[in-house]
Amino acid sequence: MRDRIRLGIIGTSGWTELMYLKNLHNRADVEIAGLCGRSRERLAEMAARYGATATYTDFRQLITEGDLDAVIVAAPDDRHCEMVLAAVGKGLHVLCEKPLANNATDARAMLAAAEQAKVKHMVLFTWRWQPHFQFLKSMVDDGTFGAVYRAQFSFLAGFARDQSYQWRLDPGRANGVAGDLGSHMIDMSRWLFGEIASVSATLGTSIGRSTIAGHETGSGNDSAHLSLQFENGILGVVDTSVVAHSADMLARHVVRIEGERATLELEHIFSGASAGASIRLMRADTDTIDTLPVPERFFGTSSPADFLDIYNKEQVGVLEFLAAIRQDRRPEPGFDAGVKVQAVVDAALRSHVEGRRIPVATVA
The pLDDT value given to residue 122? 98
pTM: 0.97
Mean pLDDT (whole number) for 150-162: 96
**Tens-digit pLDDT profile for residues 11-59:** 999 999 999 999 999 999 999 999 999 999 999 999 999 999 999 999 9
How far apart are alpha carbons 191 and 187 in whole angstroms? Answer: 6
Domain with CATH 3.30.360.10 in the chain: 127-308+343-353
**Tens-digit pLDDT profile for residues 344-360:** 999 999 999 999 999 99
- Neighbouring residues of 50: CB distance < 8 A, sequence distance ≥ 6: 17, 21, 22, 24, 25, 32, 35
- Neighbouring residues of 142: CB distance < 8 A, sequence distance ≥ 6: none
End-to-end CA separation in angstroms for the chain: 39
Neighbours of 77 (CB within 10 A): 22
Mean pLDDT (whole number) for 238-265: 97
The pLDDT value given to residue 2? 76
The pLDDT value given to residue 217? 86
Fold exhibited by the domain 127-308+343-353: Dihydrodipicolinate Reductase; domain 2 (3.30.360)
Give the right CATH number for 5-126+314-332 from 3.40.50.720, 3.40.50.300, 3.40.640.10, 3.40.50.1980.
3.40.50.720
**Tens-digit pLDDT profile for residues 104-131:** 999 999 999 999 999 999 999 999 999 9
The pLDDT value given to residue 141? 98
Domain with CATH 3.40.50.720 in the chain: 5-126+314-332
Confidence of residue 163 (pLDDT cuts 50, 70, 90): confident
Q: In terms of pLDDT, which residue wins out, 317 or 216? A: 317
Asked whether the CA dihedral 70, 72, 73, 75 is positive or negative, the reply is negative
Mean pLDDT (whole number) for 68-82: 98
Mean pLDDT (whole number) for 61-68: 97
Per the prediction, the chain carries an average pLDDT of 97
pLDDT above 70 (res 283): yes
Name residue 341's amino acid.
Answer: V
pLDDT above 90 (res 132): yes
The pLDDT value given to residue 1? 67
How far apart are alpha carbons 209 and 350 in whole angstroms? Answer: 22
